[in-house]
Structure 1
Amino acid sequence: MKTVLCYGDSLTWGYDAASAGRHPYDVRWPTVLQKGLGDDYSVIPEGLNGRTTMFDDHGAYSDRNGARTLPVALGTHQPIDLIVIMLGTNDMKRHTGGGRAFEARLGMERLVEIVQTFPYLRVYDVPKILIVAPPTFVAVEDEDTTLLLGHAIEESQRLADAYAVVAEEYGCDVFNAGEVCEVTSIDGFHLDAENTRRLGEALVEPVRQIFERG
């Protein structure tokens, strides 16, 4: 059995902007990915609202610094055959990442380095890595959301290219979520039920191809 760890933020956790709660388990993209891959795979969801690539958020109780918590996840779930990293949305906030795709790229580089250098048990191989660039933001009428992320709409459009550079440099795979899904107009950066399902379905074939290459 192949183990796939999905490491991300609220887009992986399944935040539902319409209810301010969580999408049902069966429509979250890691669950849909599991269903599409079948019983020969174990897909582990590891999403946390507000998680960044490597930046602190001192306004939250949970540790949202993805670089600090990733080693715990790697140690907990090993052996891992593939880790899917979908982060960067929260790096677009000025108070938790600088608000630019450049900082998100630096953070993604750090996460990839952690995965590739973590001291796994000697009987286990280093996991393969699939970087998923989040879909781009859209403008909304909500004042608080505009204050939080309105400045970053253009920067969010640069994430896919930024992550492609990381993938090329470190020998990873990359997938642009914006090619298969779009964010909700409610808040401009989360996924509704249909789009989180669509992402899970779209990732099935890329994940299979990664394993087929060996």
Structure 2
Amino acid sequence: MKNILCYGDSLTWGYNADGPSRHRLEDRWPSVLQAELGSAAHVIADGLNGRTTAYDDGLAGEDRNGARTLPLVLGTHSPLDLVIIMLGANDMKPWIHGNAFVSKNGMKRLAQIVRTHPYQLDAPAPKLIIVSPPPVTPTNDAEFAAAFAGAIEASVHLARHYTALAEEIGCGFFDAGSVARTTPLDGIHLDAENTRAIGQGIAPLVRATLAL
């Protein structure tokens, strides 16, 4: 059985803008991926609301810097055969940086951590797939619109920069925006149908990556 870690933010955690609430476990994209792969793999979901690629955000009780928390997560769940990272949406907040090119650099740092971490029992480094989240869309929610000011224009460039990064470092890439759209309720999160679509859409790439 292959072990797969899905490392992400609220889109992986399963934030539901309708409520707000949390999506049912079976609707979250890592759970859908698990259902698609069946007994061939064990899918581990590690999503944190507000998590960035590699940048600080002191507005929550948890450490949202993905580069700082990733080593602990890798050590906790090792051995791993594959790590899937979907981050970058929260980087679009103007007080983080709001720049897709900078998110590419943050994702590159995460890839370096995955590949150089001192895994327990001399386990080899897992394979890697990086995922660009669906672009931010317009919303009438004033608070989210302010929190992600400028993100509609900036986030559309994430897929292009992540594609270039995947080619540069030799890892897998999936554009979640090719199968899912963010909800106009807040412009950033996913409804149940769209989070399920990511799990279904990425499954063929995961199978090919792990030869399942």
Q: Tell me whether the two structures share a fold, i.e. TM-score over 0.5.
A: yes
Match of 2:102 in 1: 103
- Structure 1, unmatched stretches of 5+, are none
Q: Distance in 2 between matches of 1:47 and 1:142?
A: 23
Aligned to 1:188: 187
Shift of 1:17: 0.3
Amino acid aligned to 1:25: L
The one-letter amino acid of 1:13's match is W
Which structure 2 segments of 5+ residues have no match?
none
Instruction: Name the structure 1 match of 2:6.
Output: 6
1: distance between equivalents of 2:94 and 2:18?
Answer: 25
Paired letter, 2:81 = D
Contact 2:75 2:120 in 1 (8 A): no
1:67-114 Cα offsets, whole Å, 9 max, x none, are: 000000000000000000000000001212x11101111100000000
Partners of 1:184 and 1:48 in 2: how far apart? 19
Aligned residues: 212
Contact 1:9–1:87 at 8 Å: present in 2 too? yes
- Assess if the C-alpha contact under 8 Å between 2:94 and 2:150 holds in 1: no
Q: Which residues in structure 2 correspond to 1:1-214 (within 5 Å)?
A: 1-96=1-96, 98-212=97-211
How big is the shift at 1:2? Answer: 0.2
Q: Percent identity?
A: 51
Distance, in Å, in 2 between the alignment partners of 1:14 and 1:110 is 25
Query: TM-score when scaled to structure 2?
Result: 0.98
- What letter corresponds to residue 99 of structure 1 in structure 2? G
Q: Which amino acid in 2 is paired with 1:168?
A: E
Helix, strand or coil for the counterpart of 2:148?
A: helix
Amino acid at match of 1:10: S
Give 2:5's aligned amino acid. L
CA RMSD of aligned residues (A): 1.1
Alpha-carbon distance in 1 for matches of 2:169, 2:35:
29
CA deviation after TM superposition for structure 1 residue 165, in Å:
1.4
